[in-house]
Amino acid sequence: MSEHTNTTPTDSDEPGVTVRTHTELADALPYLLGFQPDESLVLVALHGSRGRFGGRVTVGIPTDPADWAVVADAVTDALVTGSTRRHGLPEGIVAFLCREPGPGENGTTVMEYLRPLAQHVRLAAGARDVPVVDALCLSDHRCWSYCCPDPACCPPEGKAQKPPGTSAVAAAAAYAGMTVRGSLRAMQRRLLPPDDGGDPKWITALDTACANLLPRLVDEREAAEVAEQTLTTTADLITRLHRLPQVRDPKAADACDDRAIGIAEAATVIVGLQDRETRDRAAEWMEGPLAPPALRLWRALARRCTGAYDEYAAAPLSLAGWVAWSSGDRTEARVALALALRADPDYLFALLLDHACDEGLAAESIRRVLRRAGKDRGREAAAGGAGVAGTADVPGRAGGGESEGTSSSRRRRIPLPSALRAAGQRGGKAGVPRPSGSGGPGVRAVKPSGAGAGRPPLPVRPRGGWPGAGPGGPRAPHGAGLGRGPSGQLPLRSSRHGRRRQGGRVPKGRG
């Protein structure tokens, strides 16, 4: 096989690792992705005469072989289209088909079972004038090539892979600072509810929180109080998690976090985050000493969204993806955002973040928007303003100049649990409608209820503070999502609320 180097066309300044054999290529896969894929089809684009690794696409292998042709075509098209837009048409594609044997199976059985999927990928790539230079099946710690007919190079029983961390690729990757986060399944377990559904009290607490908070979120005057209650509780929880002793083992660390978070507290924050404005403000807990405990909190809240509240996980999962990305961990960010879109495929916040992450946009540009918004709110609060949040991030606005009639044309919706919708609201309204206040579409005026109202306390503030974190703590601009992306073309803002019906369907009220 030809040589391949694990640097992308835009990473020429980084140290490269050259692979020359099928086993070395298989050993390099976890370092290309940052994790060990499970039950996955992985496509990697190759660029240049040396076959430098470029874009990568990972998707789960469908359980029904009838779906393989459609999935192979869609994944191949996504890889070729994205790679062409960034670096030009790929010179080739390497496909990895990863699946462990089930009961009564071995590696060879899995290899033969997945052979039609490899053929579908080769046909889809050929239709786009991009050859599949190699297609490897990885199973039972062995690898097979679907493209190499030489039994001396690729024996029928496959080639044994070296134990993890012992290959030359692993040594070179460690020297280059590349790490593997474990298996994809292990990463997902930190973000998903337990297989047994968790503590039954979680559902009871969520039921109670919904009964108490959703009617208040409908009331414009009470909605601001619910937002402050949610953010204050969130700040307390972030501070509490920051003070816990450090635990290295991920499973033990998650269990420690779960014990530190009260059942009623978690339910209050989960339901409160279903409000787009509150979620956007919580997104400012994204850097410095705030980021690690905030990420742990979003993971813990996502693990509690079980049963009828599985769709509610989209909010904490999206926040987990954003904080991970803001902290420089694109691997966990992609996993969290993928799970958020699995919980709610139409969740705009996750869709925009996932797209921005895939496009390689800089998280720092988004952080600057949030910091600036925090400073603006701090100045408004100091001046005793009315607290209309997010005016600096709404184009064409100067001091809140749109009428009540204009703002009321768009309505915000708070989603109900899937079980309640199934009981009589599925096909009707997807959530509890909440009218916008004055100040333009999707922007409501927040009236402070007292000194310091509308400003959650800042947990774990470093000496001297940091940009955008005033004494009241960071808050994202009202209705602004993540603000404008670095390119100025991608409006990273939440705007799903209040979309008009199309084709008789009412969109889910979650942005």
Q: Cα–Cα distance between 57 and 338 in angstroms, integer?
A: 12
Q: Give me the pLDDT at residue 414, please.
A: 56
Tokens standing for residue 481: 């999502």
What is the number of alpha carbons within 13 Å of residue 67 lying toward its C-beta? 8
Please give, one letter per residue, the 3-state secondary structure of 122-166: HHHHHCCCCCEEEEEEEECCEEEECCCCCCCCCCCCCEECCCCCC
From first to last of its 511 residues, what are the pLDDT tens digits of the chain? 444 444 433 344 445 567 777 777 888 888 788 888 888 999 999 998 777 888 889 888 999 999 999 999 999 999 999 889 888 899 999 999 999 998 989 999 999 999 999 999 999 999 999 999 999 999 988 999 999 888 888 888 888 887 766 666 667 666 666 667 778 888 899 999 998 888 999 999 999 999 999 899 888 888 889 999 999 999 999 999 999 998 989 999 999 999 999 999 999 999 999 998 899 889 999 988 989 999 999 999 999 999 899 999 999 999 999 999 999 888 899 999 999 999 999 999 999 999 888 777 888 888 888 788 777 777 877 886 544 333 333 223 333 333 333 333 333 455 555 544 444 443 333 333 332 333 333 333 333 333 333 333 444 333 333 333 333 333 333 333 333 333 333 333 333 333 333 334 333 444 6
Tokens standing for residue 236: 């307390």
Q: Is the pTM of this model over 0.85?
A: no
Q: Give me the pLDDT at residue 495, please.
A: 32
Residue 408, Cα to own-chain centre: how many angstroms? 31
Q: Give me the pLDDT at residue 511, please.
A: 61
CA distances from 115 to 60, 136, 441, 481, 503 (A): 16, 10, 53, 44, 41
Helices (H) and strands (E) in the chain, counts: 17, 12
Q: Give me the pLDDT at residue 75, please.
A: 94
Q: Cα–Cα distance between 280 and 445 in angstroms, integer?
A: 16
Q: Give me the pLDDT at residue 176, please.
A: 64
Please tell me whether residue 448 adopts helix, strand or coil conformation: coil
Neighbours of 127 (CB within 10 A): 12
Q: Cα–Cα distance between 242 and 459 in angstroms, integer?
A: 9
Please give, one letter per residue, the 3-state secondary structure of 31-85: HHHCCECCCEEEEEEEECCCCEEEEEEEEECCCCHHHHHHHHHHHHHHHHHHHHH
